[in-house]
Structure 1
Amino acid sequence: MSAVMDLRQLQLFRRIVAEGSFSRAAAALGIAQPALSRQVRALEEELGLRLLHRNGRGVIPTEEGRRFAEAVSPVLDDLDRIREEAMAAQGVARGRLRVAMPPSVAAALGPALLRHLRAEMPGVELNLREGFTGTIHEWLTRGEVDIAVLNPMRRSAAVKIEPLYDAHLFLVHRAGDPQVAPLLTPEGEIALADVAHLPLLLPGRHHGVRREIEAAFSAARLVAAKIEDVDTLSGVKQMVAEGLGCTLFAWDAVSLEIEAGRLSAARVCAPVLLHGFVLATSPEASPAARAVVRFLREEVRRRIGDGRLRGSLN
């Protein structure tokens, strides 16, 4: 069996483990599932190991398969990076790029990023994930994403950090909420002291935005009347729409619900609350990753300049 075929088997095996399913891996790779199964069987026979357990829900690696995947993954990553750099030297960016963003940033920048890649970097395959900062930081430190937008309160010596922007935070509430209406200023804003009196549904304390909000309360010598932890974006928006409480988000996380009339938002003032975002990459970022970082910085600058993004450059 050729060395090229051996490398292909390793790549296929890694993708199956990542997808947790032969069918999903076959669809993602664009090859027939029986051919994929044959490649894995050939790899198992060559190694003399059973690498995967097959069940009704998909596949999971055996203990030997897990250790093998952990061993070959860094080698395959190095080979991918070498290939991408060689292509970049010829003016062509290729490869799979894994990007993670918080919900508000994904809503604001995700469509623009996809359009840019399709038009300018068609050889790059985008995998865009959404999560709160705490979760994204875990993905980043485990090497599961190449580029992360996250809160600056999360730091790691293993990643490169650069500023992106500060988003204004808004009190998000049910449209026409009688608790909120009397508290609004003539400009439609709300003071932080009044926010503290409302029942709040916020991400847990391991998330950056929660720590920023609590730090703002502490600096203003305020104590929130009630905070309940809700670590799901769709869930908290539904709870707020049903009048179970309010939350604090950047505008873009709830803009569609505001346009539909399900939710309303008031910018927090006295003091203004800012939720900072930074771009994080590994020190060995690929040429494609560096190009996407440049695009994201430029897109943020454009959107803040024309008012589509409610925040300021940091």
Structure 2
Amino acid sequence: MDERQMRYFVALYEEQSITKAARRVHVVQPAVSQQIRKVEADFNVKLFDRTSSGVIPNAIARRLYPLCIKTLDNIEAVRQSLREHSGVSAETLTVGVQSSVTQAVMGSVLLDFNAASPDVNIQLREGYSANLIEWLIEGVIDFAILSMNEVDRRLKYEPIAVEPLIVVMSKNTEHRSATIGGADIDRFHIITPARGNQLRSLIDAEFSRVGLTYRPSMEVDSMATVFQVISRPGWATLMPLCAFPNDARRHDLRSYRLVEPEISRMLVVATLPNRAVSDAARPLIDLLREAVAAAQRTVGQA
């Protein structure tokens, strides 16, 4: 499996779409399909399940993915070393970010960071907390930005910000106050993450703590699907502040502060105990901290 095939594989693994993967690596769709099928034929394995909704990685692909990421990172490290010896200095930061954090703030944070530190190359890997912790342990990423619901003793943590959970619904859903109490949640059709999801566990625990119950109308982990559902009047969801989109979808939605209970989670930088965050990464972390603070001031605004 050569470097090009690894890059096509990683793109397809992360995008789960031939079209999006081809666009990402700047080739036509058949080029991606042919190279992936060649790898599968050469090694007599199947890496993806082709379905009507996308291209889904199977168990073999999930084991292969971190190895390809690590190999590609090592290749980039070799190139960086060569650049340094040639007098062209550049530093690469490989950052893992929890999926919900990327919805609203990471785009502007990355642009601001690039403007301030143009010589630093950022490689952003998006995933769930379990993915990020696994990638940290395997050395795939330098550090991770995630919510700390549970402490993994293999890692060390640095707090970034306390992020509130908010209620989000269509602007066409009738509600006159800037806040929504937990006791009033069942006035709406509530969509939540499925049981077993860390965010769902946090919501359930906090409602139970104040003696409240609620009944979800749907349980869905996919944020894309959640946004489709809550665009309909009468539907609402509880989500972390940083999951509230900062794009065209925002014009059709409104956010409200959740009260009684107020629920929040801690965003942290996670690293291995023997590995410190580099000086080059500090401005990125500071920008993220500022972005979360700024996002909190927008809750409840039209």
Place the TM-score, normalised by the shorter chain, in its bin: 0.5 to 0.7
- In structure 2, the partner of 1:40 is none
CA drift at 1:70: 7.9
Gaps of 5+ in 1: 1-8, 33-43, 58-63
Q: How does 1:1-314 map to 2 (within 5 A)?
A: 11-19=3-11, 50-51=42-43, 77=73, 92-95=89-92, 97-117=94-114, 119-129=116-126, 135-142=128-135, 143=138, 145-178=141-174, 180-181=175-176, 184=177, 188-196=178-186, 198-243=188-233, 245-252=235-242, 253-254=244-245, 256=247, 260=251, 262-282=252-272, 290-291=278-279, 293-303=281-291, 307-310=294-297
CA distance in 1, matches of 2:211, 2:202: 14
**Equivalent residues of 2:194, 2:221 under 8 A apart:** yes
Query: Percent identity of the aligned residues?
Result: 20
Aligned-pair Cα RMSD in Å: 4.9
Per the normalisation by structure 2, the TM-score is 0.66
Q: How many residue pairs get matched?
A: 279
Unpaired runs of 5+ residues, structure 2, are 29-38, 51-59
Q: CA deviation at 1:242?
A: 0.9
Q: What are the Cα deviations for residues 121-163 of structure 1, in whole angstroms up to 9, with x where unaligned?
A: 445153353x5xxx34224414555443222014434444221
TM-score normalized by the length of structure 1: 0.64
What is the SS of the residue equivalent to 1:299? helix
How far 1:83 moved relative to its partner?
Answer: 6.8
What is the distance in 2 between the residues matched to 1:121 and 1:78? 22
Distance 1:240 1:65 in 2: 33
What amino acid sits opposite 2:224 in the alignment?
A: S
Closer/same/farther in 2, CA of residues 269 and 71 from structure 1, 3 Å limit: closer
- SS of the aligned residue for 1:295 comes to helix
Larger Rg belongs to = 1
The one-letter amino acid paired with 2:191 is L
- 1: CA distance between counterparts of 2:250 and 2:62? 47
